[in-house]
Amino acid sequence: MGSQILNIPNKETKVANRFLGSKVSKKVKFMGQEIEIVKLSISQVTKIQERVKALEGGESAEGENLRLLALVVQEGAPELRDLSQEDINSFAMDELTGLSNEVMKYSGLGKEQAK
Instruction: Note whether residue 70 is domain-resident.
Output: yes
Instruction: Note whether residue 18 is domain-resident.
Output: no
Query: What is the residue range of 28's domain?
Result: 24-106
Whether pLDDT at 115 is above 60: no
Please tell me the predicted confidence (pLDDT) of residue 107. Answer: 92
Residue 90's domain is classified under what CATH number? 3.30.2220
Instruction: Note whether residue 2 is domain-resident.
Output: no
Whether pLDDT at 105 is above 60: yes
Sequence-distant (≥ 6) Cβ neighbours of residue 56 within 8 angstroms:
none
Instruction: Note whether residue 102 is domain-resident.
Output: yes
Say how many domains are in the chain. Answer: 1
Instruction: Note whether residue 68 is domain-resident.
Output: yes
CA dist 89 → 73, 78, 94, 109 (Å)? 12, 17, 12, 24
Instruction: Note whether residue 111 is domain-resident.
Output: no
pTM score over 0.95: no
Q: What is the pLDDT of residues 32-48, one digit of tens each?
A: 999 999 999 999 999 88
